[in-house]
Amino acid sequence: MKNFNRFAGLALTALKSNFGQLDKPYKLNFAVTYWCQSRCLTCNIWQMKPKDELRIDEIAEFAKKNNSFRWLELTGGEPFLRSDIVNIAEEFYNSCKRLYMLTIPTNSLCDRSMVERKIRKMLDLGIPRLIITVSLDGHKEFEDRIRGVTGNYEKAISMFDMIHNLKNEYGNIEGFFGYTISRFNQGELGKSIASVIADLPYVTPNDFHVNMGQVSSNYYGNSGMEIRVNNTDIINDIESLLKMRKRSYSGMHAVETSFLKKLLYYAKTGNPPLRSRSLDASLFLDSFGNVYPSIMWDRKLCNIRETDYDLAKVWRSEEANRIRKDIIDGNEPKHWTACEAYQSIVGDITSMM
């Protein structure tokens, strides 16, 4: 019953965000570190040598003073490179009494047994829903070249298989392959899915979450890597996946199907299909404590070290309101990525129920 109440609370809050501004955000996108072992062609995070990232005591203070989050995404860099990743999850879970979902992406380059131990500890915390996204951008030839690490494909296959086994054991964990279409792999999605299914026969197209490569100076550091709008290969990739996916009664399936349909619109037009909920339903916190409306917008609101780790001090500030007005006026960078799009979709879906 507790888990159902938390799920219902998330859905209700998302619905409220569709009709007016929320008092507090319900989703946090938190880059816990910028350290990364990948050498991706689509992202320059791996070139950073980060210093003075938030300590666990600072993160604990932030979680205590901002305890309204129902949905937490711990991203990177590679999140599992933080030795205290379980402690980070625990601090948020203990402080955010209505937290329902924790999502974490991984490049699969950390030791599999170490990652499994940490995931088990997170599951033992009692978090109702844990989703691990295994990054994979192609069949073996493309994956290793795009990611810049020999053997990355095999590690991703092995990591997903481990998560699949944990799902059979625990039930409240789910794994997806996170596939980003870029100019380096466009037109290869069908071959990539077939390659994975050949290695893991239980996998279906429903297990693939597909994004388009995005440009972000404050996160990816990849300005100049824009994808051409109305690209035939990319459109065909998305349309073929929509045809391959099987109907499911899972709530996440409905969200993902809606995301893909709207991604198709974005691929054709370059315009986001729904209004952004940035700095309303969600925000982006980087590993140095800087707060941005979203991963895609280099418009810094504050640094939590300067606000005593309390978002309430700036959430209704003049600058925050100016940013929200710019979003309403259509001045936010045009993007459609899951980190922000899911909030718009969940609010849109619940308003029609």
Helix, strand or coil, per DSSP, at residue 233: helix
Which of 142, 174, 184, 177 has the alpha carbon at shortest distance from 157? 177
Cα separation, 343 vs 340, in Å, equals 6
Summarize pLDDT for 39-90 with one digit per residue, the tens. Answer: 999 999 999 999 999 999 999 999 999 999 999 999 999 999 999 999 999 9
Q: pLDDT category, 343, cuts 50, 70, 90?
A: confident
| Residue 207 CB contacts under 8 Å (≥ 6 apart), including other chains | 175, 176, 177
- Residue 83's Cβ-count burial label (10 Å; 0-12, 13-18, 19+) is exposed
If phi > 0 it is left, if psi is from -120 to 50 it is alpha, else beta; for residue 289 that is left
Chain mean pLDDT for the chain = 91
Cα separation, 109 vs 115, in Å, equals 10
Angle at alpha carbon of residue 77, lines to 293 and 49, rounded to 5°: 105
Summarize pLDDT for 206-218 with one digit per residue, the tens. Answer: 999 999 988 888 8
Pick 345 or 91 by higher pLDDT: 91
pTM (2 decimals)?
Answer: 0.94
Domain ranges of the chain: 2-15+28-351
Q: pLDDT category, 287, cuts 50, 70, 90?
A: very high
Summarize pLDDT for 148-200 with one digit per residue, the tens. Answer: 999 999 999 999 999 999 999 998 999 999 999 999 999 999 999 999 999 99
Which of 287, 288, 317, 280 has the alpha carbon at shortest distance from 301? 317
Q: pLDDT category, 254, cuts 50, 70, 90?
A: confident
Cα separation, 288 vs 303, in Å, equals 8
- What CATH number does the domain located at 2-15+28-351 have? 3.20.20.70
